[in-house]
């Protein structure tokens, strides 16, 4: 199997009654492309009690030499574990031989371009062209984790988000699987991956913002995404995605438009989660992110604007002039790095056509696989196989088309 090498103040819409139908269109458009009826991974494990708190007993530990973050459980860190039902985590250090890059190809008007072949594509790893050893259109079944914001800031939108989750369940194909996670200050697993529709519906029904009003400590969006990727997706194959329903207002990582806020701070003890750690894990696990924001779309943040910033970070001080809330920029940056799409709940009804085109593009996805370099480049002056981030660029030998793909892949450091 292929795996990638490595691992928003609220403004309500005038007509909130349309929200549930509109977000259902969003979700169905996503799912039309994500889900296919291929083999199942149903399990027959002994029923467990839910919800389970995924962050219970979690201890962050950064490797002083590699700079990579490990998620341990309290027992491993020398403290009695409060949640023995969760499998002890370990540092994600495994390498894969093949880097997989999922691409969508579209015309200027957004229509998908099917029927392309291996020879139509060229892939560059840190600017160096690599041979494409694997080529396929994605046809495997999907594993999709619903990660639902249940913090007080989304109280007025909570029912609409649950309607979106219900739309996902209705759109699942028989052999696809879904998991349900919700979060406020803490992260709760309501259901691990399952293809039993009624189980999934009951799990979504358990998501209740009012029950978490006492879960004080903010809204830890990115920690929830990290924990979901770390605890639920390990070892899974096929198409993997997180559908994140949130306002984007994270309070856990201290993010600002200073790019340094995304990374570990060298002048502090850095046993804490950062934005870079989250995106690294998503890259290592080959997990796409489809984010649905309950906020209004910033005026400047059109699909064309986002496409034009595909190859460079959105987190820059210069973006202050665009009047985009920082938390919305970070949602867009998350999607940019992981691949996927950013949607907004309060779109006009005409956006349904846009989502149809997006679904068509997802159905026409192409997967390119290449072997990364393991030594110096041709000039001998660069360790092309170095650990860390590697930039990706894919071009296509077709006129008047646009190819979309994730921005980079990550190679973990050797132990």
pLDDT digits (tens, 9 = 90+) for 70-104: 898 876 555 444 343 344 333 333 344 788 887 77
| Burial call 97-113: b when 16+ CB within 10 Å, e when fewer | ebbbbbbbbbeeeeebb
Distance CA 197, CA 215 (A): 29
258 pLDDT exceeds 70? yes
Band (pLDDT 50/70/90 cuts) for residue 279 is very high
Residue 391 within any structural domain of the chain: no
Residue 237 within any structural domain of the chain: yes
CB 132, CB 123: distance < 8 Å: yes
Residue 121 within any structural domain of the chain: no
> What separation, in Å, do the N-terminal and C-terminal C-alpha atoms of the chain show?
24
22 pLDDT exceeds 80? no
Domain residue limits at 295? 18-43+141-362
Q: Would you say how long the chain is, in residues? A: 415
Residue 37 within any structural domain of the chain: yes
Distance CA 24, CA 216 (A): 30
β 52-53/187-194 pair status = antiparallel
- The pair of structure tokens assigned to 235 is 């070892």
Continuous segment of H or E residues that includes residue 62: strand 58-62
Q: Return the C-alpha torsion angle 305, 310, 312, 316, nearest 10.
A: 40
213 pLDDT exceeds 70? no
Q: How far, in whole angstroms, is CA 119 from its chain's centroid?
A: 29
Residue 10 within any structural domain of the chain: no
Mean pLDDT of the chain: 75
Which residue from 92, 122, 110 is spatially nearest to 4, judged by alpha carbons?
92
CATH number of the domain where residue 299 is located: 3.40.50.410
What pLDDT sits at residue 235?
84
Band (pLDDT 50/70/90 cuts) for residue 294 is confident
- The pair of structure tokens assigned to 196 is 């039993």
Decide which of 163 and 230 is more confident.
Answer: 230
pLDDT > 90 in the chain, percent? 19
Residue 371 within any structural domain of the chain: no
The total of other beta-carbon atoms located within 10 Å of residue 331's CB is 28
Averaged pLDDT, 6-26:
48
Distance CA 106, CA 405 (A): 12
Report the domain count for the chain.
1
109 pLDDT exceeds 60? yes
CB 18, CB 349: distance < 8 Å: yes
Residue 125 within any structural domain of the chain: no
Residue 129 within any structural domain of the chain: no
Band (pLDDT 50/70/90 cuts) for residue 11 is very low
| Burial call 340-374: b when 16+ CB within 10 Å, e when fewer | bbbbbbbbeeebeebbebbbbbbbbbbbbbbebbe
The segment with the largest mean pLDDT, out of 17-31, 149-163, 187-201, 256-270, is: 187-201
């Amino acid at each position: 199997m292929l795996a990638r090498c490595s691992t928003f103040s609220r403004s309500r819409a005038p007509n909130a009654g349309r929200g549930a139908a509109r977000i259902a269109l969003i979700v169905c458009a996503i799912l039309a492309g994500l889900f296919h009826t291929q083999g199942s991974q149903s399990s027959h494990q002994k029923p467990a009690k839910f919800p389970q708190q995924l962050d219970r007993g979690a201890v962050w530990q950064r490797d002083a030499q590699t700079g990579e973050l490990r998620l341990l459980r309290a027992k491993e860190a020398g403290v009695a574990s409060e949640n023995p039902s969760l499998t002890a985590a370990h540092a994600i250090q495994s390498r894969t031989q093949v880097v997989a890059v999922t691409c969508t190809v579209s015309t200027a008007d957004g229509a998908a371009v099917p029927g392309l072949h291996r020879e139509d594509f060229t892939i560059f790893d840190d600017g160096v062209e690599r041979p494409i050893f694997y080529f396929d259109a994605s046809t495997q079944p999907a594993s999709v984790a619903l990660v639902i914001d249940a913090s007080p800031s989304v109280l007025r939108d909570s029912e609409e988000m649950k309607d979106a989750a219900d739309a996902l369940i209705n759109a699942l194909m028989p052999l696809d699987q879904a998991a349900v996670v919700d979060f406020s200050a803490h992260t709760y697993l309501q259901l691990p991956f399952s293809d039993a529709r009624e189980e999934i519906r009951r799990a979504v029904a358990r998501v209740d913002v009012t029950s978490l009003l006492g879960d004080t400590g903010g809204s830890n969006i990115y920690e929830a995404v990290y924990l979901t990727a770390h605890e639920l997706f390990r070892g899974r194959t096929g198409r993997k995605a997180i559908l994140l329903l949130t306002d984007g207002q994270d309070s856990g990582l201290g993010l600002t438009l200073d790019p340094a806020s995304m990374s570990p701070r060298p002048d502090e003890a850095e046993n804490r989660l950062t934005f870079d750690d989250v995106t690294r894990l998503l890259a290592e696990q080959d997990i796409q992110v489809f984010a649905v924001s309950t906020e209004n779309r910033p005026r400047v943040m059109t699909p064309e604007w986002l496409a034009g910033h595909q190859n460079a970070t959105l987190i820059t001080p210069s973006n202050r002039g665009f009047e985009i809330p920082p938390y919305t920029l970070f949602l867009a940056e998350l999607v940019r790095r992981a691949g996927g799409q950013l949607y907004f709940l309060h779109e006009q009804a005409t956006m349904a056509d846009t989502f149809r085109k997006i679904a068509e593009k997802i159905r026409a996805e192409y997967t390119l696989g290449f072997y990364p370099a393991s030594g110096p480049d041709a000039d001998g002056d660069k360790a092309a196989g170095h650990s860390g981030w590697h930039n990706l660029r894919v071009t296509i030998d077709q006129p008047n088309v646009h190819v979309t793909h994730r921005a980079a892949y990550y190679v973990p450091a050797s132990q």
